[in-house]
Amino acid sequence: MAAARTTILSILVITTAASLWCVSSSSSSSSSADAAAVEFVKKTVSSHKIAIFSKSYCPYCRKAKNVFKSLNQVPHVVELDERDDGSIIQDALSEIVGRRTVPQVFINGKHIGGSDDTVEAYESGELAKLLGIEVEGKDDL
């Protein structure tokens, strides 16, 4: 019985770790994000047609970035894991959009969502409309 309990506990730990793959391991416990980080996010979003807050190792981020590559669009990407203030910026994203996960994608100042939302918008043709581009045969992602 103890071995079964240990196995179940191990599975729970692995599952939890996998589900937190793209969430910062050094998250802040502060209830409100740093004002400078909030301003950075807002300025970044308003200054670029496509802005993606990402982590370089995250497979979901890679998938979202590949959507834009397939559309021949070059997004402005902020790799949070490559910045000293990445965790603070991630807290600001949480405050602004209500999600702390990455990627977070913005088009023309509008929050699109994460990877699944971006892929869904691509597949429905909504992403091309938001970007103001024509898309002939779409590649499968």
Residue 93 lies in a domain: yes
Q: Is residue 74 part of a domain?
A: yes
Omega of the bond prior to 59 within 30 degrees of 0, cis? no
| SS3 at position 113 | strand
Mean pLDDT of each 10-residue bin along the chain, 141 residues long: 47 38 43 86 98 98 97 97 97 95 97 97 96 74 57
Q: Check residue 9 and give its pLDDT.
A: 40
Kindly state whether residue 44 falls inside one of the protein's structural domains.
Answer: yes
CATH number of the domain residue 117 falls in = 3.40.30.10
In a domain, 18, yes or no: no
Q: What is the pLDDT of residue 140?
A: 56
1 falls within a domain = no
Is 15 domain-assigned?
Answer: no
Any domain includes 126: yes
Give how many domains the chain has, as a whole number: 1
Q: How many CB atoms lie within 10 A of CB 122?
A: 23
Structural domain of residue 46, as residue ranges? 32-131
